[in-house]
């Protein structure tokens, strides 16, 4: 029988390879840009027509190619970037597979013009559907220009498969944006159908990020930076109230290559904990650098996936760095005024998630609460207005009877610690940047929650012995639940002895529980524990910690002394996540001086 196997003709092989390397105009642009950057270009222009379907062209001022190399470059597996198997172990260039030009040449009409520094005249190569149609000397600038016309003209299946102009253009714009973020030292120009969409001059990384996201949005970002021996991270993350509805504004670069990595994305997401609403995604631009030996970029022809030697370490690193950055930057959603234009926008409460008790309207401008307008008017020095720093003292001096009826909540006992309790519910205090309002109940909840988790972790209960042990009669169900939870309850600080007949002897209680309410707290704790049991994700200890924190915390309506308020706030800011309670409700709202100024028409 005759042999059936034969080697594919190169044009067919290239067409097949093209299917993986070049799926759409954007992927062709990406490959061309990688080549320009690998050739050390300092200035790159991208031109597209009809979303790249009619024309896509990349012009660079990089090293260029010799006459010989220019022809060679279109062959399959032609590359100048690696030569030995060892090279594959530490890739430092964006390209290395030697298949981009071959693939593009197989499915389009390509014109390449290139010249190196040493040559007087350059080279022109025309390739069409894998056929080299023309190779001549041609005058051109130093660098390389690749013009790709009628992409997929000979693979109609592929061409029909393309999405709308708008979508394809957006994909290309995304590619250019990513590259521009990752290579700020390069100047970029991006032209679509004759319209210049992007002009970027060489800049620092920070300035480039500002250029791309816009000045206003840039203010919503904070820097993330950390270097270890094995790995470094540098970038920007969005404040929790600067959320996106999708993942398109998540830029992850590994050794300057844009990558898609679910684990790392998840690590960032996880770091925001409850700070994000369901369906919201944080903005980030993160550059990771690792030794190329420790990462494999040869996973897929598109080179967007990578395999890390130690992904779980990287996950933990990213998680902790982002988490720390959020905590260190005092990231409370800044309250935005509810202006007419933004009336339809989600308010601070929505941005937080849960059904938070504090909506901006509750604090600002509702008559009968703080009549801020009136107060300020009364104290205005003609032509001067009220210095915002004197805001708090002004409130107490002039309207104590109306605004703060409780004696206990009147004074700021320490220099610089102006603090008041409002309606026995919120704590108002002056801070450097403006004012801060804390929900006393959820603040205390957060503190207790973390304390309980710590005692679980260290197995160090902090308990107070009762002088007169109490008996608590429980329902049979609660009694057996309490017995089941006994070891955990003890870690929490309870000292309980089953006394028979559904009765528990309470001999000690957690240090945070007020003497006199020991029976009540045990009962409430068990009730809350049951309520939470429907949440499948909560384990018993987490449930117990949350239930206890909720029930032992001061309530709305509890009057606090100034000392208690100060201690509460100090402890709050020692927690890892001061801005959200364990259920995801907001704890703190800030109003910046800027916002107040805006509100009073001082800007
Ligand atoms: P790879 O980038 O994986 O090496 P390509 O098919 O993309 O494969 O390119 C083949 C070769 O052509 C490159 O290795 C490089 O030597 C050369 N080349 C391609 N584009 C450029 C460019 N813009 N400037 C200089 N050389 C280029
Ligand atoms: Mg390449």
pLDDT (tens digit per residue) in 484-506: 999 999 999 999 999 888 999 99
pLDDT attached to residue 389: 29
Phi, psi of 63 (to 5 degrees): -65, -25
pLDDT in tens, 105-152: 999 999 999 999 999 999 999 999 999 999 999 999 999 999 999 999
Is residue 55's pLDDT more than 80? yes
pLDDT attached to residue 336: 41
Ligand 1 pocket: which of 63, 74, 95, 140 to mutate (most atoms within 8 A of CB)? 95
> Where is average pLDDT lowest: 169-178, 271-280, 463-472, 483-492?
271-280
DSSP tag of 580:
B
Q: Cα(439)–Cα(569) distance, rounded to whole angstroms? A: 10
pLDDT attached to residue 536: 60
Is residue 375's pLDDT more than 60? no
Q: Cα(149)–Cα(107) distance, rounded to whole angstroms? A: 10
Phi, psi of 296 (to 5 degrees): -110, 115
> What atom in ligand 1 is closest to the CA of residue 36?
23
Give the ligand at the shortest distance from the Cα of 66. 1
Distance 206 CA to ligand 1 centre (A): 30
What whole-number percentage of the chain has pLDDT above 90? 50
Nearest partner of 588 among 433, 449, 450, 428, judged by Cα: 428
Q: Take atom 13 of ligand 1 and give the residue whose Cα is closest.
A: 79
What b-and-e string marks burial along 151-170, b requiring 16 or more CB atoms within 10 Å of the CB? bbebbeebeeebeeeeebbe
Give the ligand at the shortest distance from the Cα of 64. 1
Long-range contacts of 8-14, Cβ-Cβ distance < 8 Å, separation of 24 or more: 10/76, 10/130, 11/106, 11/129, 11/130, 11/131, 13/76, 14/76, 14/102, 14/103, 14/105, 14/106, 14/130
Q: Take atom 25 of ligand 1 and give the residue whose Cα is closest.
A: 64
Q: Is 28 exposed, middle or buried (0-12, 13-18, 19+ CB in 10 A)?
A: buried
Q: Which one is predicted more confidently, 450 or 415? A: 450
pLDDT attached to residue 403: 27
> What atom in ligand 1 is closest to the CA of residue 99?
6
| Count of alpha carbons within 13 angstroms of residue 336, beta-carbon side | 18
How much of the chain is helix, strand and coil, in % rounded to 5? Answer: 40, 25, 40
Task: Give the CA radius of gyration of the chain.
Answer: 32
> What atom in ligand 1 is closest to the CA of residue 80?
14
Give the ligand at the shortest distance from the Cα of 80. 1
Contact residues for 144 (Cβ-Cβ < 8 A; gap 6+)? 35, 36, 39, 59, 60, 62, 64, 65, 112, 113, 114
Q: Take atom 20 of ligand 1 and give the residue whose Cα is closest.
A: 35
pLDDT attached to residue 331: 63
Would you state the structure tokens that stand for residue 583, as one six-digit string?
A: 């259920």
Ligand 1 pocket: which of 35, 45, 62 to mutate (most atoms within 8 A of CB)? 35
| Count of alpha carbons within 13 angstroms of residue 40, beta-carbon side | 7
Distance 412 CA to ligand 1 centre (A): 69
pLDDT attached to residue 411: 32
Residue indicated by tokens 């509750």: 362
Distance 77 CA to ligand 2 centre (A): 10
DSSP bridge pairs for 293: none
Nearest partner of 43 among 173, 185, 210, judged by Cα: 185
C-alpha dihedral over 374, 380, 382, 388, to 10 degrees? Answer: -130
Distance 233 CA to ligand 2 centre (A): 26
Residue 72: alpha-carbon gap to chain centroid: 44
Q: Which one is predicted more confidently, 256 or 404? A: 256
SS (H, E, C) 198-245: EEECCCCHHHHHHHHHCHHHHCCEEEEEEECCCEEEEEEEECCCCEEC
Would you state the structure tokens that stand for residue 269, as one six-digit string?
A: 């997401």
Is residue 216's pLDDT more than 50? yes
Q: What pairing do the DSSP bridges indicate for beta strands 55-60 and 143-149?
A: antiparallel
pLDDT in tens, 81-98: 999 999 989 999 999 999
Q: Which helix (H) or strand (E) covers residue 136, if one does?
A: strand 131-138
Distance 144 CA to ligand 2 centre (A): 13
Ligand 1 pocket: which of 73, 92, 94, 113 to mutate (most atoms within 8 A of CB)? 73
Give the ligand at the shortest distance from the Cα of 82. 1
Distance 28 CA to ligand 1 centre (A): 13
* pLDDT band for position 409 (cuts 50, 70, 90): very low
Would you state the structure tokens that stand for residue 526, as one six-digit string?
A: 């068990």
Phi, psi of 454 (to 5 degrees): -65, -40
CB 589 within 8 A of CB 580: no
Q: Cα(349)–Cα(347) distance, rounded to whole angstroms? A: 5
Distance 211 CA to ligand 2 centre (A): 27
Q: Take atom 27 of ligand 1 and give the residue whose Cα is closest.
A: 35
Distance 35 CA to ligand 2 centre (A): 5
Q: How many CB atoms lie within 10 A of CB 579?
A: 26
Distance 158 CA to ligand 2 centre (A): 21
Q: Take atom 21 of ligand 1 and give the residue whose Cα is closest.
A: 35
> What atom in ligand 1 is closest to the CA of residue 62?
24
Q: What pairing do the DSSP bridges indicate for beta strands 187-192 and 43-49?
A: parallel
Give the ligand at the shortest distance from the Cα of 77. 1
Nearest partner of 126 among 99, 104, 141, judged by Cα: 104
Q: Residues enclosing ligand 1, CB less than 6 A?
A: 31, 35-36, 39, 60, 62-65, 73, 78-81, 95-102, 144
> Where is average pLDDT lowest: 17-21, 43-47, 118-122, 206-210?
17-21
Report the sign of the C-alpha dihedral through residues 473, 478, 482, 483, in that order: positive
Give the ligand at the shortest distance from the Cα of 78. 1
Distance 200 CA to ligand 1 centre (A): 24
Q: Which helix (H) or strand (E) covers residue 321, if one does?
A: helix 311-328
Q: Take atom 8 of ligand 1 and give the residue whose Cα is closest.
A: 98
The environment of the single-atom ion ligand 2, i.e. residues with CB closer than 5 A, is 34-35, 95, 100
Q: Take atom 18 of ligand 1 and give the residue whose Cα is closest.
A: 35
> What atom in ligand 1 is closest to the CA of residue 31?
7
Distance 94 CA to ligand 2 centre (A): 7
> What atom in ligand 1 is closest to the CA of residue 94?
2
Distance 95 CA to ligand 2 centre (A): 4
> Where is average pLDDT lowest: 143-152, 339-348, 584-593?
339-348
Nearest partner of 145 among 52, 211, 65, judged by Cα: 65
* pLDDT band for position 75 (cuts 50, 70, 90): very high
Q: How many CB atoms lie within 10 A of CB 293?
A: 10
Distance 33 CA to ligand 2 centre (A): 8
Contact residues for 350 (Cβ-Cβ < 8 A; gap 6+)? 277
């Amino acid at each position: 029988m005759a042999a059936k196997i034969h080697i594919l003709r190169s044009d067919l092989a290239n067409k097949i390879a093209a299917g993986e390397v070049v799926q759409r105009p954007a992927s062709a642009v990406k490959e061309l840009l990688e080549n320009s950057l690998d050739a050390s270009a300092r200035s790159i222009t991208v031109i597209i027509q009809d979303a790249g379907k009619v024309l896509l062209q990349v012009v660079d001022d990089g090293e260029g190619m010799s006459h010989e190399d220019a022809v060679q470059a279109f062959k399959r597996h032609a590359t100048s970037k690696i030569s030995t198997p060892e090279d594959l172990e530490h890739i430092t260039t964006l390209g290395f597979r030697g298949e981009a030009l071959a693939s593009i040449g197989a499915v389009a009409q390509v014109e390449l013009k290139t010249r190196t520094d040493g040559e007087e005249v350059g080279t022109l190569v025309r390739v069409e559907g894998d056929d080299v149609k023309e190779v001549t000397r041609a005058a051109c600038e130093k660098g390389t220009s690749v013009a790709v016309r009628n992409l997929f003209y000979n693979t109609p299946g592929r061409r029909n498969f393309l999405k709308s102009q708008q979508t394809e253009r957006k994909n290309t714009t995304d590619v250019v944006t990513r590259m521009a973020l990752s290579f700020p030292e390069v100047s970029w120009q991006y032209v679509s159908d004759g319209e210049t969409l992007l002009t970027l001059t060489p800049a620092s990384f920070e300035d480039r990020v500002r250029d791309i996201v816009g000045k206003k949005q840039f203010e919503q970002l904070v820097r993330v930076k950390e270097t270890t021996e094995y790995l470094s991270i540098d970038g920007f993350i969005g404040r929790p109230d600067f959320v996106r509805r999708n993942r398109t504004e998540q830029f992850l670069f590994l050794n300057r290559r844009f990558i898609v990595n679910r684990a790392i994305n998840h690590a960032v997401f996880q770091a925001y904990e409850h700070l994000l609403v369901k369906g919201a995604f944080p903005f980030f631009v993160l550059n990771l650098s690792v030794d190329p030996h420790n990462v494999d970029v040869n996973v897929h022809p598109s080179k967007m996936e990578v395999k890390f030697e130690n992904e779980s370490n990287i996950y933990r690193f990213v998680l902790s760095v982002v988490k720390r950055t959020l905590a260190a930057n005092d990231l409370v959603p800044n309250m935005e005024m509810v202006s007419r234009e933004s009336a339809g926008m989600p308010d601070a409460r929505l941005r937080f998630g849960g059904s938070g008790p504090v909506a901006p309207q509750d604090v600002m401008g509702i008559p009968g609460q703080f009549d801020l307008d009136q107060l300020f008017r009364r104290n205005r020095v003609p032509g001067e207005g009220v210095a915002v720093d004197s805001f708090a003292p002004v409130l107490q001096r002039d309207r104590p009877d109306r605004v703060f009826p409780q004696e206990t909540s009147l004074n700021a006992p320490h220099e610089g610690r102006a603090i008041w309790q409002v309606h026995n519910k919120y704590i108002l205090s002056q801070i450097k940047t403006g004012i801060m309002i804390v929900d006393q109940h959820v603040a205390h909840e957060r503190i207790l929650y973390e304390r309980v988790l710590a005692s679980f972790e260290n197995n160090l209960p902090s308990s107070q012995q009762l002088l007169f042990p109490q008996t608590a009669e429980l329902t049979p169900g609660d009694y057996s639940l309490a017995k089941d939870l006994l070891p955990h309850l003890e870690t929490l600080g309870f000292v309980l002895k089953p006394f028979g007949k559904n009765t528990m002897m309470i001999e000690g209680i957690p240090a945070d529980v007020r003497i006199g309410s020991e029976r009540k707290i045990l009962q409430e704790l068990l009730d809350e524990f049951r309520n939470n049991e429907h949440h499948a994700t909560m384990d018993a200890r987490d449930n117990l910690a949350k239930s206890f924190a909720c029930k032992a915390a001061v309530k709305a309506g509890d009057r606090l002394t100034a000392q208690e308020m100060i201690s509460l706030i100090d402890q709050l800011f020692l927690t890892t996540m001061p801005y959200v309670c364990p259920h995801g409700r907001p704890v703190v709202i800030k109003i910046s001086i800027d916002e107040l100024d805006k509100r009073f028409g001082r800007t």
